[in-house]
Amino acid sequence: MGILNVTPDSFSDGGRFLGADAAVAHARTLVGEGADILDVGGESTRPGAEPVSEREELARVQPVLERLAQGGLTDAAQISIDTCKSAVARVALDAGATLVNDVSALRADPEMAAVVADSGAECCLMHMLGEPRTMQSAAHGPRYEDVVDDVKSFLEERLRFAVREGIAEERILLDPGIGFGKTATHNLALLERLGELAAIGRPLLVGTSRKSFLGRIIADAAGEVEPVDAARRLPGTIATNVLALERGASVFRVHDVAPVRAALAVAAATLERLWTPRGTTTRTS
């Protein structure tokens, strides 16, 4: 899954692809590097991010989605809309998206479940403690009895909710929400015990790409005081995705498609499982 941020303030590439021309050009690059899914988002969910209005989010993503369809990219890759707003999801689905990536796990908008169910689209349900503006703050501070058990219970409950609302279970993906209301210790525990989440029985999406906990680990290993910046976090991104593959993940949300895909291909060959070459991926629509 290649990340296409149509935002001015995402932590890694905010503003680079805000214009439709730049976004579509980047989408073509991601597909050329081997992305099977393009995840289009018009609202940053980085820690501390302020929410944007429905009108603003639509103004950012709608032209891009329309251009992706016009340019044939909806045939080259599955289009995912990264949103918590049902109105944005509806427009995206009408424009050719077939996956709704909802970081609120259908909690932010009471109409989202019906939009997904009625469309027959796939959806991804993610765990997040709190909401982006406050999820990492000291005042609200990430606390769990056992982070893996707590995340698993949450994902199981949201899966049951989605099915009750009419979304077919086979169209649901789950995401433990690495970095969303978690400390570095929590993130590492989730990666270490990812198999416990895979046991739920739905495809797992993992998103570690360029995240800050990787910057801290890499800096510590190099004896640097400050966490390394996002541009230097690719080795950590590759390592965590390979580990996630080994532990049962099957969708990898990344900025750097080509090197991560190559690493996963080698890891999958070693494991003799879990890799579907590009162009043979089975999709539902």
Q: What is the CATH number of the domain that holds 52?
A: 3.20.20.20
Residue 39 lies in a domain: yes
Q: Is residue 156 in some structural domain? A: no
Residues 51-74 have a mean pLDDT of 94
Would 60 be classed as within a structural domain? yes
5 is a domain residue: yes
* Beta strands, E only, 148-283: 172-175, 205-206, 251-252
Q: Is 42 part of any domain? A: yes
Domain, as residue range, for 3: 1-97
Question: Would you state the pLDDT for residue 284?
Answer: 39
| Interval 157-187: pLDDT, tens | 999 999 999 999 999 999 999 999 999 999 9
**Does residue 274 sit in helix, strand or coil?**
coil
How many domains in the chain? Answer: 1
- What's the DSSP call for residue 276? -
Residue 36 within a domain = yes
Could you tell me where the DSSP H helices lie in the chain?
Answer: 20-32, 54-70, 73-76, 86-94, 112-119, 147-164, 184-192, 194-198, 212-222, 234-246, 257-271
Q: What is the pTM of this model?
A: 0.91
Element containing residue 3 per DSSP (H, E): strand 2-5
Q: Is residue 13 part of a domain?
A: yes
Residues designated catalytic: 211, 253
* pLDDT for position 15: 56
Cβ–Cβ contacts within 10 Å for residue 110, how many? 9
Query: Percentage of residues in the chain with pLDDT exceeding 70?
Result: 87
Q: What is the pLDDT of residues 124-153, one digit of tens each?
A: 999 998 776 665 565 456 889 999 999 999
Is residue 177 a part of any domain in this protein?
A: no
| pLDDT band, residue 279 (cuts 50/70/90) | very low
pLDDT at 6: 92
